[in-house]
Amino acid sequence: MTDEHTAIEGESGDESADREPLFDRIPRRNFMKAGAAVGAMGSLAGCTGVLDDGDDGLASAGDVDAYVPPGEHDDYYAFLSGGHSGEIRVYGVPSMRQLMRIPVFGRESARGYGFDDRTSEMLEESGGYTWGDTHHPRISQTDNDYDGRWAFVNDKANGRMARINLKYFETDAIVDIPNQQGTHGACCLLPDTKYVFGVGEFRVPMPNDGRDLDDPDSYTSTIAAIDPETMNVEWEVLVDGNMDNGDGGKDGRWFFATGYNSENATTVSEMSASDTDWVKAFDVPAIEEAVENGEYDEIGGVPVVDGTRDSPLNDGDRPIVRYLDVSKSPHGVSVTPDNKYAIASGKLDPTCSIIDIEQLGEVDDPNDAIVGRPNLGMGPLHTAYDGRGHAYTTLFIDSDVVKWDIERAVEAYPDEEPEPNGDNESPAVVEKIDVHYNPGHLIASESYTADPQGDWLISLNKLSKDRFLNVGPMKPENDQLIYIGDDEEGMQLVKDTPSYAEPHDASIVSADKIDPADVYDPADYDEEYVEFDESEIVREDGRVHVKMGSQRNEFGFHDVTVQEGDEVTFTVTNIETTQDILHSLAIPEHDVNIKLAPQETREVTFTADEPGVYWMYCAFFCSALHLEMRSRLIVEPAE
């Protein structure tokens, strides 16, 4: 197989009439189309533990070993998006063993998710969609450090945000965000997760009720601020252009979002007419003040503040949204651990734009807050940090991860002038490593906190090509583990891990910051706990409520008899207190399949609409008499 590095060159078209010419320090860029870029095949053969080998507590590259023996635990949890599966994948790092899959936006039978009343109602009330596309897992923080309470993830397909309870590693809330189609970003406002922001990508009429159908200039997109405790949308902000990714500052003031389509267009050629697009910097306290003062319209049941460029709220000394001119179609944006900079990747341009956060609130022209624009390579998408002053950026077209020095890039600006073909690499570049292939997101351990660990990095690659056994035309994607703890020896590729389509982003959290439960606490849920010897059947007006406990080898009733047409509710408790002993209640002919972990209670309701005998059984292998753990549901014909 040959390496491919494909770029389609051409002029980007005329500038929009209402945009100023591209300012001098950004040269006009050629557009690039990503080909199947392939890097070299070198890697470090199998390698465990990160040894305390130096002043920074990190191992040298020669000593690092990513093998975790049987029975031993990983140092980190990694929460990776599942993409079109609508789930979150939980890995151990550095083993890269998959520990759990957490269903979020779609039904999943092993956990009974979407089959019991509680989770099926949650999915229905959050839009009733049959699928979702998870993109950006973010972990809640207190004082700019992971607190182990929740994970949040967006639904890129349907404009939703979900919350995952990390005590039980299960989704406990989903909000269908009003006024958004395609929520492409999910990030927290720090230091204490005051809001979870949903970044709306697709521009639509506002409100989208049939008006302005053929007037794209009137379309708009929004960001949504969500209360993490209630999962209610507190407010939204309208902006010009589409939005892409986002990240929140660490001091409670700024939220950043990249955007494209400043032309307000609907076709590729029209959206590509201008030389530049924007990073939008949202001044959160200023927006909150506008909401408090009633300076908003209520649309879709939430306050919507006008943050477009021509809005009166963007006049004066403190505009609520500052628009910074950056290279065309920027993609990822992330805030450095020290909250000094926000770094936006060019995607169609070989540079990243470095925004000085302190200057942003002081300068008259927000473009004066741009203090660096290093040339990194072809197709920069996303950036992570090691806490030692280095940034790591994926290069989609080059199939590389590039390590670069942030302050060196600032010092070189504006004397460093990137060429349109990307040939004059920035002096800030420290090294590059080939990945396989075409990386999108990447994440370093605890990179989103104020104190990254600086040892491991995962590159989430869109293609794997020939790295794994052939499984047909739809190939696995490739999550690659890279050791970044040795600045002298450089980055070392350690492992390939195949992944199902289509992963996006991830978060890596030290294992000691999460404390999952071994069994359920009945105080944490609303369903009635049913002791085995207190099982009962309550009948009233065509409704039958079966309350029963379950334990190894039997349910609370051997037989349950109902009438054809009855509405039947089962409330079932697993009374076991030993971890790992799961039961379930499966009645396949009535599409019932609820999982019951130790001390867990679940409810399910259905209509017994066909007379007959239906076996109810435990679908988890729970004991030597597992096959005998069954009862009869007898549905008598209606009179």
pLDDT 10s digits, 145-157: 999 999 999 999 9
Which of 355-359, 383-387, 413-417 is the least confident region? 413-417
Which of 20-24, 48-52, 472-476, 622-626 is the least confident region? 20-24
Does residue 334 sit within a domain? Answer: yes
Return d(Cα 280, Cα 311) in angstroms, integer.
14
Does residue 537 sit within a domain? Answer: yes
- What is the number of other CB atoms lying within 10 angstroms of the CB of residue 615? 12
Based on the domain organization, do 347 and 390 belong to the same domain?
yes
Q: What is the per-residue pLDDT for 419?
A: 61
Give φ, ψ of 474 to 5 degrees.
-90, 105
Q: Are 271 and 211 in contact (CB under 8 A)?
A: no
Three-state DSSP class for 123? helix
- What is the number of other CB atoms lying within 10 angstroms of the CB of residue 358? 12
Three-state DSSP class for 271? helix
Cα angle 76, 88, 505 (rounded to 5 degrees) comes to: 75
Based on the domain organization, do 435 and 554 belong to the same domain?
no
Q: Which helix (H) or strand (E) holds 278?
A: strand 276-283
pLDDT for residue 30 is more than 70 = no
Strands 297-299 and 492-499, sheet pairing: unpaired
Does residue 22 sit within a domain? Answer: no
Q: What is the per-residue pLDDT for 369?
A: 97
Average pLDDT of the segment spanning 327-336: 93
Based on the domain organization, do 575 and 471 belong to the same domain?
no
Q: What is the per-residue pLDDT for 217?
A: 83
Q: What is the per-residue pLDDT for 421?
A: 55
Based on the domain organization, do 473 and 557 belong to the same domain?
no
Of 393, 479, 458, the residue nearest 432 (C-alpha): 393
pLDDT tens-digit series, residues 59-101: 888 888 899 999 999 999 999 999 999 999 999 999 999 999 9
Return d(Cα 536, Cα 549) in angstroms, integer.
9
Q: What is the per-residue pLDDT for 44?
A: 36
pLDDT for residue 159 is more than 70 = yes
Of 482, 513, 544, the one marking the end of a domain is: 513
pLDDT tens-digit series, residues 103-134: 999 999 999 999 999 999 999 999 999 999 99
Average pLDDT of the segment spanning 497-514: 94
Based on the domain organization, do 556 and 500 belong to the same domain?
no
pLDDT for residue 20 is more than 90 = no
Q: Who contacts 537 (Cβ-Cβ below 8 Å, separation ≥6)?
A: 544, 545, 546, 547, 557, 560
Does residue 60 sit within a domain? Answer: no
Q: What is the per-residue pLDDT for 271?
A: 80
Based on the domain organization, do 501 and 549 belong to the same domain?
no
Which of 13-17, 217-221, 437-441 is the least confident region? 13-17
Based on the domain organization, do 485 and 538 belong to the same domain?
no
Of 456, 479, 513, the one marking the end of a domain is: 513
pTM above 0.85, yes or no: yes
Based on the domain organization, do 534 and 483 belong to the same domain?
no
Of 513, 538, 572, the one marking the end of a domain is: 513
Average pLDDT of the segment spanning 382-399: 97
Based on the domain organization, do 501 and 555 belong to the same domain?
no
Based on the domain organization, do 487 and 583 belong to the same domain?
no
Does residue 21 sit within a domain? Answer: no
Q: What is the per-residue pLDDT for 424?
A: 82
Average pLDDT of the segment spanning 22-48: 35
Query: Residues 548, 549, 550, 556: is their CA dihedral positive or negative?
Result: negative
pLDDT for residue 472 is more than 50 = yes
Q: Are 374 and 404 in contact (CB under 8 A)?
A: yes
Based on the domain organization, do 539 and 475 belong to the same domain?
no
Which of 8-12, 99-103, 132-136, 319-323 is the least confident region? 8-12
Under DSSP, the state recorded for 442 is E
Q: What is the per-residue pLDDT for 261?
A: 82
Q: What is the per-residue pLDDT for 558?
A: 95
Of 120, 93, 95, the residue nearest 107 (C-alpha): 120
Q: Are 115 and 593 in contact (CB under 8 A)?
A: yes
Average pLDDT of the segment spanning 427-432: 96
pLDDT for residue 15 is more than 50 = no
- Per the structure, the count of domains in the chain is 2
Which of 43-47, 118-122, 494-498, 622-626 is the least confident region? 43-47
Q: What is the per-residue pLDDT for 52?
A: 52
Hunting for tokens 């090294």 — which residue is that?
A: 431
Strands 302-306 and 321-327, sheet pairing: unpaired
Q: What is the per-residue pLDDT for 423?
A: 66
pLDDT for residue 185 is more than 90 = no
Residue 54 — very low, low, confident or very high, per pLDDT cuts 50/70/90? low
Does residue 205 sit within a domain? Answer: yes
**Residue 233 vs residue 181, higher pLDDT:** 233
Q: What is the per-residue pLDDT for 275?
A: 84
Q: What is the DSSP string of 314-363?
A: GSSSS-SEEEEEEESS---EEE-TTSSEEEEE-SSSSBEEEEEHHHHTT-
Return d(Cα 17, Cα 33) in angstroms, integer.
26
pLDDT for residue 43 is more than 50 = no
**Residue 608 vs residue 268, higher pLDDT:** 608
Distances (CA, A) of 387 to 278, 392, 562: 27, 11, 64
pLDDT for residue 312 is more than 70 = yes
- What is the number of other CB atoms lying within 10 angstroms of the CB of residue 561? 14
pLDDT for residue 23 is more than 60 = no
pLDDT for residue 478 is more than 70 = yes
The pair of three-digit structure tokens given for residue 445, joined into one six-digit string:
């351990």
Does residue 30 sit within a domain? Answer: no
CATH code where residue 559 lies: 2.60.40.420
Q: What is the per-residue pLDDT for 571?
A: 98
Share of the chain above pLDDT 70, in %: 90
pLDDT for residue 11 is more than 60 = no
The maximal CA–CA distance of the chain, rounded, in angstroms, is 90
Based on the domain organization, do 296 and 435 belong to the same domain?
yes
CATH code where residue 504 lies: 2.130.10.10
Does residue 28 sit within a domain? Answer: no
| Residue ranges making up the domain that contains 113 | 76-513
Q: What is the per-residue pLDDT for 47?
A: 41
